[in-house]
Chain A
Amino acid sequence: MPPASSCDTRALIEPTRVHSRLYYDQTIFEQELERIWYRSWVYVGHISEVPNRNDYVTKSIGPMPVLLIHDRTGQITLLLNKCPHRGNQLCAYREGNRSTFTCPYHAWTFSNTGELAGFAYADGYEGVDKSKFSLGRVPRVGIYRGFVFGSLATDGPSLDEYLGGAKASIDQLLDNSPEGELELTAGFLQHRTQANWKFMLENETDGYHPGFVHSSVFQVTDSGIGKLYGPQSTALTRDFGNGHTEFDLRPEWRRLGEPLAWFGATEDRLPGYVKAMKTSYGAERARQIMIDGSPHIMIFPNLFIAEIQMFVLQPLAVNETIQHVTALQFKGAPDFNRRLRQQTMGSVGPAGFLLADDTEMYERNHRGALISDPEWLTLSRGLHRERHDENGYLIGHSTDEVPQRGIWRHYARLMTA
């Protein structure tokens, strides 16, 4: 084992295995905050959560709270929730609509664009330049099709470069809306998890576990979904690079060739949605979209789109993570949205049929990491059969650990940069 003082993660990551220390070491967690969460692009929120001017909602980048604001000038702004005077928490509410924020401690008041509007008892600040006391902000804000990302580094790759191949999956997602847009209106469940965040990151595109972890659900719902995760599956795992990974079920859905089979439905069950899709895209394209369905993609480090729902991973500590989750809601699809909410509520969150068991595994994984022998955890599955797709991305069998190897390659680059 490397000495405890060593923070060189290079010694802990090999192409097909990773060291348990990566999951429990406090120093490594602090380095992750510095080198990943507070530097790289991180998903923060969606523009549909702040539809009106002066709307705000409290979000986060890692453990740090961030205010996602549709500001008074119409811009999307990410401000830090800290009064520059004494560091007090400026806004204590989760969401609301206001053009200014007043600190409850000494009543300094800020515009929702971040500038200090005024001191209380201003005579005590004679000659002081108010512009020196703006709120902290996330310097780079990037929006891709409504998804708002922030980077606390003043420079670095553009969001466009960062997302790379993952953009195609977001496009595929939005094709499922007759209007090409998402609306996150159903509110979030918050699932507290006593495990390191990377166990979740790795599991989201792990196609090896569902047949075992979720066999109880597949049995009692008489679902054919279990087969998608078996040895005969034609689904693919994919590494898009930059840590973004995918579980691509389209080969299975195309083999079936049935619109809405991906959702366990048929066209006659959702007539309003099917009609709206055909009107928007034309019959042929609408049929292909409804056969292909919605993607299953993990955008590094924290945005997981799982066909019908969306998770945001938030590490609070080396051994504590919050899984925020909501139902995807497609603009212009009320009948579909209702069923998306119902299925999501059954599947995810603290009492969800699927996520209660996933989360049980995360917590057991974390406790396992603390056991000293063996120190190394293996990620070699399917190494002999991974290959490149037509776009040059690494792909593998649905149960192979192509995504996890890709995640660690990207992680190692960020941590040792």
Chain B
Amino acid sequence: MDQQEILTAAKPAGNGKGNLLERIEQFLFMEARLQDTHAYEEWEALWTDDAIYWVPANGATDPETQMSIIYDNRSRIRVRINQLKTGRHHTQTPRSELARIVSNVELIQQAGNEVDARANVLIFEDNLRGETLWAARNEYRLRMTADGFKLVRKKVSLVNNHRPIFTLSFLV
């Protein structure tokens, strides 16, 4: 594999190996890498058709009645990705330089072919405005498929989501 293929490979090298928590961690690290490297199509392919991608505001209010920073179903995830792919989503031209740490991964529960997990995430972003540090507590629901894990639900709770925050146009 060349360098670009390594960065956007949508399967962890050790896929299917290790215990459940290790496999979850490998999946979350891979997702983080796809986001950091703007591998838009590979990241989009991680989602199931019934996906919900949620970044709440003002704590964790009911997304059905209250404003969220992001509250995407599968079709809106596609629009989000397609906008990034036009090359004219100005806030990502040039793209943010990103590196994130995913840590404190916990396996919360397993039910049938789905698992719930949590992690903390710290993201360093550099763009035209300058340097920004983002911190979030994430919750995931993953579905085990023949193709490996898929994202069913991802909730990104920015720790400062009740405060004014800068433009968040990279994949969080």
Contacts and interface: CB of A to CB of B under 8 A. Distances in A.
A361 B172 CA distance: 21
Which range holds the interface residue count of chain B?
35 or more
A322 B67 contact: no
Contact of A191 (B58, B64, B70, B164): B164
B70 A351 contact: yes
B17 to A, nearest CB: 35
A349 B172 CA distance: 15
A396 B70 CA distance: 36
A346 B76 contact: yes
Interface string B81-118: 01100111111000000000000000000000000000
B118 to A, nearest CB: 22
Interface in A343-375: 344-346, 349-351, 353, 356-357, 359-361, 363-364, 367
- Give the dominant DSSP class at B's interface: loop
B76 to A, nearest CB: 6
Contacts of A193: 166
A189 B67 contact: yes
Contact of A187 (B66, B70, B164): B66
A357 B79 contact: no
A220 interface: yes
Contacts of B66: 186-187
A219 B83 CA distance: 8
Nearest to B55: A351
B30 interface: no
Given A186-B67, A220-B86, A344-B67, A350 B166 contact: yes
A359 B167 contact: yes
A191 B86 CA distance: 24
Contact of B67 (A216, A326, A338, A367): A326
Contacts of B67: 186-189, 325-327, 341, 344-345, 349
14 contacts: A187-B66, A191-B164, A194-B129, A215-B86, A220-B79, A325-B67, A327-B67, A345-B68, A350-B69, A351-B167, A353-B80, A353-B83, A359-B167, A364-B128
Interface of B: 55, 57-58, 61, 64-72, 76, 79-80, 82-83, 86-91, 128-129, 162-169, 172
Given A215-B86, A341-B67, 4 more contacts: A192-B166, A213-B90, A220-B79, A351-B70
Interface of A: 94, 185-194, 213, 215-217, 219-221, 322, 325-327, 338, 341-342, 344-346, 349-351, 353, 356-357, 359-361, 363-364, 367
